[in-house]
Structure formats: C-alpha cells, structure tokens
Structure 1
Amino acid sequence: MSRRTAVRRLLDEYGRTHAEEAGIRLRDIPAPLYQLLTLCVLFAVRIKADIAVAAARELFAVGLRTPRAMADASRQDLVGALGRARYRRYDESTATALGAGARFVLDRYRGDLRRLREEAAGDPARIRELLREIPRIGPVGADIFCREAQGLWPELRPSFDRRARHGAAGLGLPAAPERLAALVDDADLPRLAAALVRADLALRAHRAASEAPLTLR
C-alpha cells in the first residue's frame, strides 16, 4: 500500500477535526476563531476529548460564541453549561479561565484574534507565544489551535505537534512535518493532523487492552 493510499484511508476513518465535532464552521472571521480558542481552553485540563467537545457545544448552544457574550455571562451560566456536558471537577476553574480569557481577547485584540495574527507578523512561533498569554492556554492548547487553524493561516503550515508526529511514526509514515504535508493538499492538513492524533490514541488503547492481565469473573 502506498503512503498516499494509507493517508486517504486514515483520513476516511479518523480525519475529523475537533472544530468539526464541536460544530464550529471554521473561517477566518472573529467568531469561529474565538470558538476554536474556547475549545482549546476546554482541552487544557486532563479530561476526555468527547467531554471537552460536548462542553464547547453546550456553551455555543446557549449563545456563548463570542468573547463579548462569554465575558458578559454569569459564573452560574458558565458552570451550569459545563455541568450539563459532564465537564465536572474542572468546571469552576474553567469558568474562571473562560471569563478571564474572553476579557483578555476583548482588551488586547478587540475581540478579533486576527489581530493576534497581525501582531505575530507571519511568525508561527510568535503566534504560539501570543496564544499562551491567554489564560489557560498552554503549549497543548496552542498546539491544538495551530493544528486546526493551519487551514486558514498559511504561516502555520505544516503544524504537526509531538502527538501527531508520534502517531505518524507508529503508522510507518514520515514524522517530519514537511514530508507529512507533502502527502495531502493544504486544505486537508488540519484533518491529517487530527487523524494522526486519533489513530495514535486508538493504537494505544488497543495495546493497553491487549496487555491487560487476565482476570477471573
């Protein structure tokens, strides 16, 4: 099987981005970019991916799709939305982080993350640095944002973080970002990065199940 054929199969099985799962129609305009940032905040703690996505969908469903709406929401509204998505244990601290992050984006970028991109002046490392200034966004959150936004912001291409590269190596694909990027069109880079991470998680789960000790019932 050729590498391109393997990648096509990988995209068919695992190539759904977190933004797609959360119902975000990702475009280079303020609201969807902020929604992606919100999703990254939700992923910033040790919580299952499906719960983080469910929490994002719940927040968006009650109208918290912009930094202004998020900043104006009451703490009770935020905690309630997170709770309905079973985003517990971290609900209080995440509600605080979401409110603080929304106010930061409003104050620093007037609610438009394209201004962050402009401030970075085409430097992907600087984009990551600026993202990490936002409350609760650390290296993992910045990596997720860049993975998903690379379809919109060419200077981020190719964005394959450590987890995606590990997934590529485990599947016998090249781990070098440039060589991976050569296997798909630019429009599919976010899907490929997501697919590599998902495939790696699936492989780890399979190995863990295979190595589990036999127990008597």
Structure 2
Amino acid sequence: MSPAADDDARSTALEVLERLGRTYADEAGITLRDKPAPLFQLLMLSMLFSAPISAEAAVASLREIREAGWRTPERLLDSTWQQRVDALGRGGYRRYDESTANYLTDAATLLQERYRGDLRRLRDEADGDPAAVKKLLQEFPRIGPTGADIFCREVQQVWPGLRPQIDAKVRAGARKAGLPTNADDLAALVAGDDLARFTAALVRLDHED
C-alpha cells in the first residue's frame, strides 16, 4: 500500500469508527471489563446473536435480562424458566424464546461447574490462544463458530492478547468501505484500544443498505 493510499485508508477507518464505532456490548448496556459478571453477560449476548434473529432483538433481550437482575450465572439460575421466556419475549426474541430460556440455563450451569463462574479461567485454560478460546467457547450451547467470533470480536476490548479479531463479517464491512481485508493491515488503521469498536463499526456498515 502506497503512503497516499495508506493515508486514505486511515482517514476512511477513522470516519467509519466515528460514525458507527459502538460495540454491541455497549449497546446492550454491558460495561465490559475483565471481570466475571460482564464477561458472562457478553457470553449471553453472543448466544442471543447466534440465532437467526435481528441484532436489535438480541440486544433488547439482553437488556431485559440485565434489568431482571440476572447479571451473573448464580442470579440467572435463581430465575424460573417462565421468567426467562417472558424477558426474552419483552425483548422481541420471538420463536426462539422457549428454547433459548433452556440454553441460558445450560450455559450458566456449565460456566459454574467447569469454570467456577469465571470465563477468565476459560481464557487461561486456552493459554490465551485465540483458536483455543473459540474452541472452548463452542462447548457452550448454541455457541458455534459465529457466536465464538462475536464473543472474541467484542472481548478483545478487555482481552488484548486476542487482538486482532478480524472475522468474515468484519472483512465484509472492510470491503464495503474500500479498506484492506488482511487482519494485520486492517488492525493497523486504528489504535489497539479502538479495535473492538472499529470491528463492530465494520459489521454495522456491512449490515447497512
């Protein structure tokens, strides 16, 4: 890439970041930190995104879960199945509300039993390797490759060892913006601490008409 093209790419990247640079975790009300509770909430959000449903419904449903007070696996396991179904319904999570109510219970149970409620132990078990982190994430119900990509794309904000997380949806947004799709070249366009917002911005851009 020539210096002029590099400057143009940086300018475009900053424009995309300024206009659309909000993580989905932030939109859902999660103040993401390297702590058990917000990491669990991000896991739930990634599960909600993994069904064929709108991003708006997934975000709204996670907000309902948070407002119900189920921000830790312990609190979620104290809720009833019907309470979870109702919360998902209020968020617009139709057609998948009943099955997802069960998946949330199973995920919280697995997190408690295997990682004592702390996803940082999953990261440590994977020795910080991004591919290993994604493989372990896919042991949670409904989390497939796409859900694991979503979690890692967002969590790179507080797990810098996973950077850069540039998945297929991010590359699609980059192509739409006329930006490079190579992970290292794309990540070099913004500061490391802005990378989670930048990748979210590119995903949002890809979803625009």
| TM tier, smaller | over 0.9
- After superposition, the C-alpha distances for 1:31-59 in whole angstroms (9 at most, x for unaligned) are 00000001001111010101100000000
For normalisation by structure 1, the TM-score amounts to 0.92
Other-structure match for 1:57? 63
1:86 corresponding residue in structure 2: 92
| Partner residue, 2:105 | 99
1:54-111: per-residue Cα shift (whole Å, max 9, x none)? 0000000010100111122100110010111111100001001000000000000000
Q: TM-score, normalised by structure 2?
A: 0.95
* Runs of at least 4 residues off by over 6 Å: none
Q: Is the counterpart of residue 18 in structure 1 residue 24 in structure 2? A: yes
Q: Aligned partners of 2:143, 2:191: CA distance in 1, in Å?
A: 29
Of 87-96 and 67-76, more deviation after overlay is shown by: 67-76
Tell me the C-alpha RMSD between the 2 structures.
0.9
Alignment match, 2:3:
none
Identity rate, percent: 55
Shift of 1:155: 2.2
Query: What is the SS of the residue equivalent to 2:101?
Result: helix
- Larger relative contact order (C-alpha < 8 A, sep ≥ 6)? 2
Q: Which blocks of at least 5 consecutive residues in structure 2 are unaligned? A: 1-6
2:8 aligns to what? Answer: 2
Letter in 2 for 1:98: L
1:3-43 deviations in whole A, cap 9, x for unaligned? Answer: 11111110111111100100100000000000000100111
Which of the two has higher C-alpha Rg?
Answer: 1
Amino acid at match of 2:161: E
What pairs with 1:165-184 in structure 2 (closer than 5 Å)? 165-184=171-190
Residue-by-residue CA offset, 1:138-179 (whole Å, 9 max, x unaligned): 111100000001121122100011010111112110000100
User: Structure 1: any 5+ residue segments left out of the alignment?
Assistant: 206-217
Whole-Å Cα distance in 2 between the matches of residues 7 and 152 of structure 1?
Answer: 21
The aligned length equals 203
